[in-house]
């Protein structure tokens, strides 16, 4: 008997004009988080955005559990249970933390603002701060909580540690691990290999719009040559 998949992506193809940005991308996520690693411009964000329906796919199938998302609107995909934390975490500068969260709070969600504040106490302390008065790490927490309040089965996070100071990267890593214990699935896009290895037992490698390999975190961790070939990381890094 096959295990129930949380997310199944089959032969996804996306074009930007004449350039073939996603090429027959197929992978699945069951009960463990997966990370996608790849250098700049390889198609990681295009993949996240086409999972959400923000970028139109030319062909392919996307299923969340048994729901076929492929032809659904962005809104319906979110309602079916994909939470999205986009790269660059856009906030409204003139809304406070609490105002951001009240915009998305749902009555019947497992997640309430109070519960999120318990898990992210730093955000609770900043609840009256405006979006433009938050640090990068606080903005990231707000983006994560905003997505959680919609009660996702799966979170898709695009480079959540990008541009953050090392101490804050550690905080966000802890939050990602906390999500797992809350039973929320995770597809994590990263360029920070150590975050990916810590959070996700399985790693998908993306090169020029294709998933070229799927390896265990353990294998990638212990293979500097593979890291160098796929990710351009030097042995001394
Ligand atoms: N809106 C767009 N119009 C045209 N081309 C695009 C668009 N968005 C992305 N592309 C192209 O698609 C390819 C993949 O870009 P994408 O942003 O998905 O890469 P990425 O892996 O997320 O990179 P990064 O690590 O820098 O975030 C690139 O060649 C990019 O130039
Ligand atoms: Mg990107």
Ligand 2 is an ion; residues with CB less than 5 A from it? 44-45, 87
- pTM beyond 0.85: yes
From atom 14 of ligand 1, which residue's Cα is the shortest distance away?
43
| SS3 assignment, position 202 | strand
Percent of the chain with pLDDT over 90: 65
- Per-residue pLDDT of 45-62, as tens digits, reads 999 999 999 999 999 999
Does residue 105 carry a pLDDT above 80?
yes
**What is the spatial distance between Cα 139 and Cα 91, in angstroms, rounded to a whole number?**
7
- Contact call for residues 154 and 29 (beta carbons, < 8 A): yes
Q: Is residue 101 part of a domain?
A: yes
Q: Which positions ≥6 away from 5 have C-beta within 8 Å?
A: 28, 29, 30, 63, 65
Stretch 72-77: mean pLDDT, rounded?
95
The residue with greater pLDDT, 135 or 48, is: 48
Q: Is 34 in the pocket of ligand 1 (CB under 6 A)?
A: no
Pocket test for ligand 1, best of 12, 14, 16, 39 (most atoms within 8 A of CB): 16
For residue 10, report the phi and psi dihedrals to the nearest 5 degrees.
-130, 120
Q: How sure is the predictor about 233, in pLDDT bands with cuts at 50, 70 and 90?
A: low
Does the pLDDT of residue 226 top 70, yes or no? Answer: yes
> By the 8 A CB rule, do 82 and 156 touch?
yes
Please answer whether residues 147 and 48 qualify as being in contact, where contact means their C-beta atoms are separated by less than 8 angstroms.
no
Predicted local distance difference test score (pLDDT) of residue 237? 46
Which comes out higher in pLDDT, residue 145 or 156?
156
Axis-axis angle for helices 136-148, 166-181 (nearest 10): 10
* Res 209 pLDDT > 60: yes
The torsion region of residue 2 among left (phi > 0), alpha (psi -120 to 50) and beta comes to beta
Q: Confidence class of residue 131 from pLDDT cuts 50, 70 and 90? A: confident
Nearest bound ligand to the CA of residue 207: 1
With 60 as the cut, is the pLDDT of residue 213 above it? yes
Question: pLDDT confidence of 214, banded at 50, 70, 90?
Answer: very high
Instruction: For residue 22, give the DSSP letter.
Output: E
The Cα angle at residue 174 between residues 172 and 180, in degrees rounded to 5: 110
Structural domain includes residue 96: yes
pLDDT band at 3 (very low <50, low <70, confident <90, very high): low
* Lowest-confidence region among 36-40, 64-68, 141-145: 141-145
Q: What pLDDT is recorded for position 109?
A: 82
Average pLDDT of the chain is: 91
**219, part of any domain:** yes
| Buried b or exposed e, range 186-208, using 16+ CB within 10 angstroms | bbbbbbbbebbbbbbebbbbbbe
What one-character DSSP code corresponds to residue 210? Answer: E
In the β-sheet with 19-29, what is the strand arrangement from edge to edge? Answer: 19-29, 7-16, 59-64, 67-68
Mean pLDDT over 75-98 rounds to 89
> Which CATH number is 130's domain given?
3.40.50.300
Q: Is 2 among the domain residues? A: no
List the domain range (segments joined by +) for residue 58. 7-231
Residue 58 is assigned to a structural domain of this protein: yes
What's the structural domain count of the chain? 1
Q: Which of 41, 85, 158, 196 to mutate to test the pocket of ligand 1 (most atoms within 8 A of CB)?
A: 41
Q: Establish if 79 belongs to a structural domain.
A: yes
Q: Is 182 exposed, middle or buried (0-12, 13-18, 19+ CB in 10 A)?
A: exposed
The answer to whether position 68 is within a domain reads yes
């Amino acid at each position: 008997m096959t295990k129930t998949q949380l997310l199944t992506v089959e032969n996804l193809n996306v074009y930007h004009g004449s350039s073939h940005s996603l090429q027959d991308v197929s992978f699945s996520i069951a009960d463990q988080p997966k990370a996608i690693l790849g250098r700049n411009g390889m198609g990681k964000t295009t993949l996240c955005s086409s999972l959400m329906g923000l970028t139109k796919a030319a062909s392919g199938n996307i299923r969340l559990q048994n729901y076929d998302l492929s032809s659904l609107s962005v809104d319906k995909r979110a309602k079916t249970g994909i939470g999205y934390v986009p790269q660059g975490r856009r906030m409204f500068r003139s809304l406070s933390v609490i105002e951001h969260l009240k915009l998305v709070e749902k009555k019947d969600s497992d997640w309430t603002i109070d519960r999120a504040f318990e898990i992210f106490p730093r955000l609770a302390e900043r609840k009256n701060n405006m979006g433009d008065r938050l640090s990068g790490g606080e903005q990231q927490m707000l983006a994560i909580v905003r997505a959680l309040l919609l009660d996702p089965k799966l979170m898709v996070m695009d480079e959540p540690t990008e541009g953050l100071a090392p101490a804050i990267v550690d905080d966000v890593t802890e939050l990602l691990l906390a999500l797992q214990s809350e039973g929320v699935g995770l597809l994590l896009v990263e360029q920070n290999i150590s975050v990916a290895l810590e959070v996700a037992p399985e790693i998908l490698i993306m090169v020029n719009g294709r998933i070229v390999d799927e390896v265990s975190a353990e294998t990638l961790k212990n293979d500097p040559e593979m890291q160098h070939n796929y990710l351009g990381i030097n042995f001394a890094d």
